Amino acid sequence: MAETLRKTVTIAKQRFELRSDRVERALRQTLPEPITSHYVVIGRRCYPPKQAISLVTGLDRADFTTHQARRILTGLGFPAGRRPGQAESKAAGSSRRTRSRGVRSRPSAETLEPFVGLWVATKDAEVLVAAPEPRTVLSWLAEHRQRADSMFRVPSDELQASGAAPW
């Protein structure tokens, strides 16, 4: 994010002066929780909006709504999105597996590009979590009761991808 955006907001009757660069800094060392519906992209990672606002304000998540958190974060310039509904993704997943004889889809190179050099856990075409150490990825999966289809380190170049270069 090139330009630092500022916004004064009131949440739970408390005023906060938020800055986009400080939000990014606060979340840099925090792994995102699983995305259930809405998300915001901060530092090339997708975070639940309530997790982000709770971390930067110190407020309890019960003190504000997802939509309020999302509106604040998009006002600071962070892109937001919504995950497809569970019914949609289950239907799409089952038809995709039927067509491909039980083979699950995998994340594209474009999806993996932000995670070069990191360990990732994936499920279908989605990256669940990324971290510098495999132990951190495993801990996150256990803590959030998530199950991945695969876990691997995203290579930084073609030599690593081919196995010809050391990690």
Confidence of residue 29 (pLDDT cuts 50, 70, 90): confident
Question: Residue 99 and residue 84: Cα distance in Å, rounded?
Answer: 20
pLDDT at 55: 95
pLDDT at 89: 46
Query: Is residue 126 pLDDT above 90, yes or no?
Result: no
Coil, helix or strand at residue 33? coil
pLDDT, one tens digit per residue, over 42-55 is: 988 899 999 999 99
* Amino acid of residue 9: V
pLDDT at 105: 82
pLDDT at 87: 47
Question: Domain map of the chain by residue range?
Answer: 6-82, 104-161
Query: Is residue 76 pLDDT above 80, yes or no?
Result: yes
Half-sphere exposure of 63 (CA within 13 A, CB side): 13
pLDDT at 90: 47
Query: Is residue 162 pLDDT above 80, yes or no?
Result: no
Q: Is 138 exposed, middle or buried (0-12, 13-18, 19+ CB in 10 A)?
A: middle
Query: How much of the chain, in percent, has pLDDT values that exceed 90?
Result: 56
Mean pLDDT of the residues in the chain: 84
Confidence of residue 107 (pLDDT cuts 50, 70, 90): confident
Q: Comparing 84 with 61, which gets the higher pLDDT?
A: 61
pTM of the model: 0.69
